[in-house]
Structure 1
Amino acid sequence: MAIKPAFTIAQQVQQLKTRGMLFHNEQDATHYFSTISYYRLKGYWWDTQNDRVNHTFKPNTYFETIIERYNFDRHLRLILFDAIERVEIALRTKMIYHMSLKYGALWYIDCNLFNDNVKHASHLTHIFREFDYSQEIFKKEHKRKHPHQDPEAWKILEVVSMGTLSKLYKNLAHQIPEKTIIAKEMGLHIHSELSSWLEAIVYVRNIIAHHSRLWSRNMVKRPKDDIATPMFDWLDQPLTDVQKKKPFLIISTLVYLTNKVTPGHHIKDKLLELFNNHPDVPIYKLGFLNNWNNQSIWK
């Protein structure tokens, strides 16, 4: 395949025009391409093409429509990141509290508390590496006062990533009562359900942290939707395959979990307001279809 030449902004705009895209204001397009790359925006116009070989656009495809999708997606990610923060901090707090009270300050080191010792060793490597990278004052104080002592769980687990925390929780031995206690305090009766949800949420968190696109994206990690005896309003109608593979399902898990860990939150209200403020954005591209708003959790 021949290496393509780099295009100026003017050439980028002209290429879209040649392919059939319309512009209400080309000067605005020039501004946007100076701050948002062509390939970042490409993900938002991909489905507006009628020929994905020649990349020609369907009639009446406007650049401004693409920008509205882009801005919608950016606001969506900000709302979801707020929800993820609440879930992450609650999980971190509950793991530190319950496990430390029962098994001591250094429980995270005890391989007997985990299912897979190989995975546990790998997780420990990540945990200590993340602690070493941390610039928190309490980390520096620990290193100064206790240079040869492993930090207590409430110190070291406060700075590890949600991904590492999720893996640590999933690898806890199933027979440990605290694993189920933590799941119930997060709103689920079964720890495997929480593990599934956390894994999917971490995946979305990484997308958001890298400012990547959620719009019309298929989720590689998909949480369980058929949970046992939900404690709160959940999805009480069958989901289509599209709803399971698009962000809709993971977004629903975040609404459910925040209902438990931060009652009175406004995550769902903010999402519904976002949808209402962008009536021309086809949210079915995110899996919000088939009377999604009649599901108990979204009513």
Structure 2
Amino acid sequence: MVNKLPKTLVDQINLLVERGMLFRNIDNAPHFLKNISYYRLKGYWWEMQSDKVAHNFKPNNHFEDVIDLYNFDRHLRLLMFDAIERIEVALRTKLIYNLSLSYGALFYIDDSLFTDKFKHKATIEHLFVEIARSKEQFIVEHRLYHKDEPFESWKALEVTSLGTLSKLYKNLNHQLPEKSRIALEFGFNSHKDFSSFLEASTVIRNVIAHHSRLWNNNVTTKYLWPKNLKNSPITYVPDENQRAKLFPLLSLTIYTIEIISPGNSIKEKFFNLLDEYPIVPVHKMGFPANWKTQPIWI
């Protein structure tokens, strides 16, 4: 198969016109395509196509609406980043506080506290790589003044990623009371459900970190829907197909944020975002018709 030839901005615009894309002001199109690649925008006009082989567009679809979808998604990613950052910081804090007080400053390297010693070894090796990359002043000073001593947990875990924190938490021995206590402090009655939520949040965090599309994309990990929540964010248990879309996870994220960060404005900002971009079809993110009547959204 011969690779396709690269196209100039003019060629790209002409191809869109040929396929039925409309423009409210075609003179502005080169500016957008010069700064946002054709292939990146393709993910936002994919749903506008009537023929996904010939790539012809349905009637009355405008290039400017594609740009609006792109901008909506960019702001949505920032909003989700804000929410997940709060969860990450709280998880880091609760791990350090609860487990250091019970098992000492070096609990994270004590494999007796973890279920799977091989997974623990791999996680710690990755953690050491993250520490080695860090240029934080407290890490630099530790290397300088305590070079033969291991990093205390409040230093080591402060510079590690959400993915590593999630793996550490998941692998903690199930009988440790601190594991259940941390889950409860996030509003989860089961550490298994909470761990599954952290894994899904890590996937979304990675999507955001790579500036990938969040709108109308799928949640690629099959996370558990938590049981017996104190105040269930939605009135139904979403099935596996429904959990592949953003709405259930976003609802669960807001539920969690309202517990660890009461008075936050995440939900308000999301409503404002929808007001700013009214053309966005929220059902593509798994939002049901009655989503505004669901408990967490009232």
Q: Please name the residue that 2:285 is paired with.
A: 286
**Cα offset, 1:233, TM superposition:** 4.3
Q: 1:242 to 1:289 in 2, by over 3 A?
A: farther
Q: For 2:6 and 2:123, how far apart are their aligned partners in 1?
A: 43
Q: Residues 30-75 of structure 1: CA distance to partner in whole angstroms, max 9, x if unpaired?
A: 1000000011000000011111111111011110111111111111
Q: Please name the residue that 2:274 is paired with.
A: 275
Contact 1:130/1:160 (<8 A) preserved: yes
**Cα offset, 1:238, TM superposition:** 4.1
**Cα offset, 1:276, TM superposition:** 2.2
Question: Does residue 186 of the first structure (1) align with residue 186 of the second (2)?
Answer: yes
**Cα offset, 1:237, TM superposition:** 2.5
Q: Please name the residue that 1:245 is paired with.
A: 244
Partner SS, residue 23 of structure 1: coil
Q: Please name the residue that 1:94 is paired with.
A: 94
Aligned length: 298
Partner SS, residue 157 of structure 1: helix
Contact 1:83/1:254 (<8 A) preserved: yes
Contact 1:9/1:30 (<8 A) preserved: yes
Tell me which amino acid in the other structure corresponds to 1:247.
L
Q: Residues 177-210 of structure 1: CA distance to partner in whole angstroms, max 9, x if unpaired?
A: 1000000111111100110100000000010011
Q: 1:20 to 1:240 in 2, by over 3 A?
A: farther
| Matches for 1:56-71 after TM superposition, within 5 Å | 56-71=56-71
Q: Please name the residue that 2:79 is paired with.
A: 79
Q: Which runs of 5+ in 1 are unaligned?
A: none
Q: For 1:235 and 1:222, how far apart are their aligned partners in 2?
A: 18
What is the root-mean-square deviation of aligned Cα atoms in Å?
Answer: 1.1
Q: Please name the residue that 1:217 is paired with.
A: 217
| Matches for 1:138-287 after TM superposition, within 5 Å | 138-225=138-225, 227-239=226-238, 242-287=241-286
Q: Please name the residue that 1:123 is paired with.
A: 123
Q: For 2:19 and 2:227, how far apart are their aligned partners in 1?
A: 50
Q: For 1:279 and 1:116, how far apart are their aligned partners in 2?
A: 49
Partner SS, residue 160 of structure 2: coil
Q: For 1:2 and 1:289, how far apart are their aligned partners in 2?
A: 43
Contact 2:222/2:240 (<8 A) preserved: no
Q: Which runs of 5+ in 2 are unaligned?
A: none
